[in-house]
Amino acid sequence: MNKYFTKGQIAWLVILTVLVIDQVIKVWVKTHMYWHESIRVTDWCYIFFTENVGMAFGMEIFGKLFLTIFRLVAVTFIGWFLYKCVKRGLKTGFIVCISLILTGALGNIVDSVFYGVLFSQSTPVQLATFLPEGGGYASLFYGKVVDMFYFPIIDTHWPQWMPWVGGDHFIFFSPIFNFADAAISCGVIALFLFYSKSFNEAFHQIVSKK
């Protein structure tokens, strides 16, 4: 691949590809599925439409705005770091990992910043519409992140004889996530497994401007 693309072009290719796929999936789910509607693919794989309001520690309006601004600051820093990595000609795989993390964060920011203005409210009985006449369900920066991938690989109950949790329902893997979340996870895991030393060296070199 390096024979045909520069490292900067590879970074842009990853960013644009992941961002387009993420947004196409989210827009389709948002406009074609009711809130909390579920589509069974297999016993352990579902498309389950939900929305993450993105609030932390029980905070309401301030918490949502703070989280969105924090994401914008984080994406700006990661973008700057990626730019420096490309300029320094670091390993292609390392650049791909950083690009995945950047794009995943950016994909969720698009939801948080714009979806409240672009779409109507999703409910269990009404599909959302794009650019509704009466305006969106929230103002700029107060949109909800669309999630849809649900993988209850193990769905069972704890044995009755087990203390504290006996008889309780147990699901693994229970979080519902989106394509952007998957990109972040893949980037972080690959970075940790294959490029942890490269990351430490690059971070210290770039931040210290050596």
Task: Considering the candidates 43, 155, 168, 181, report the single residue annotated as catalytic.
Answer: 181
Measured CA to CA, the distance from residue 53 to residue 102 in angstroms comes to 21
Q: Are 141 and 43 in contact (CB under 8 A)?
A: no
**181 among known catalytic residues:** yes
Strands 145-150 and 176-177: antiparallel
Measured CA to CA, the distance from residue 168 to residue 159 in angstroms comes to 8
Task: Considering the candidates 22, 43, 111, 147, report the single residue annotated as catalytic.
Answer: 147
Q: How many CB atoms lie within 10 A of CB 53?
A: 14
Q: Is 39 helix (H, G, I), strand (E, B) or coil?
A: strand
How far the first Cα of the chain sits from its last, in Å, is 29
Q: Which residue has the tokens 């196409």?
A: 24
What single-letter DSSP state applies at residue 12?
H
DSSP track, 95-145: HHHHHHHHHHHHHHHHIIIIIHHHBPPP-SS----BS-TT--SS-TT---E
Residue 169, exposed/middle/buried by CB under 10 A (0-12, 13-18, 19+)? exposed
Active site positions, annotated:
147, 181
